[in-house]
Amino acid sequence: MADLITAEEVPLVNPEADYESLKAELDAKVNAEGNVELSADQVLLSTQFLNLCKDKIQRIDRRFWSGSVVTDRPTLSSGYYTILKQKGTEPEGVKWGQVWANGAADDTTARKWIVAFDTAAGKAYAEAGPMGPVDWNVVEVKLGMSGSKTEHTDPILGGSVLATIDGLKAYAHFR
């Protein structure tokens, strides 16, 4: 397997913009990027992450049910975005999830955001809440019951997350 490529972290032009404006900014960036070499039966998912909360966030956990990482980034600064790439083989495509948090895995005051995407089914799942273990079996079931767009607000800590998927473009933002 080839070495992972570290995705760049880019400041948002206008972090206060509405959802559609932020998504348009990132879609333009995805469309301008070069392509990853794929075989005829492979698909490439571009997943755009925006950190709109006040803290730097870090990846705590990740799960692939199908597919694999192409580009990676373990942290994301406040007011910045990154575009990560994943590839999979048809017909399964890419089905994956990731947990971001604004603190360490053992920090009981930290908030976590869970997002998951499935290219074959066109589904996106999102959840925000306090730190704690992630049951990936439950996330997979909830992903299967989701639509192409999911929003969730944490009733305890007040953070929110939005996740969408449109073909081979996925998008998530954290507030």
Question: What is the secondary structure of 108-130 as a DSSP string?
Answer: TT-EEEEEEEETTTTEEEEEEEE
pLDDT at 4 over 60: no
pTM of the full predicted structure? 0.83
* Position with higher pLDDT, 26 vs 89: 89
Mean pLDDT of 55-66: 95
Tokens for 57, please give them: 């966030």
Residues 6+ apart with CB under 8 A from 2: none
Judged by average pLDDT, the poorest of 24-28, 90-94, 121-125, 165-169 is 24-28
Determine which of 12-21, 41-50, 55-64, 109-118 has the lowest per-residue pLDDT on average: 12-21
Q: All domains of the chain, ordered by start, with CATH?
A: 5-174 (2.60.270.20)
Is the peptide bond prior to 91 cis by the omega test (within 30 degrees of 0)? yes
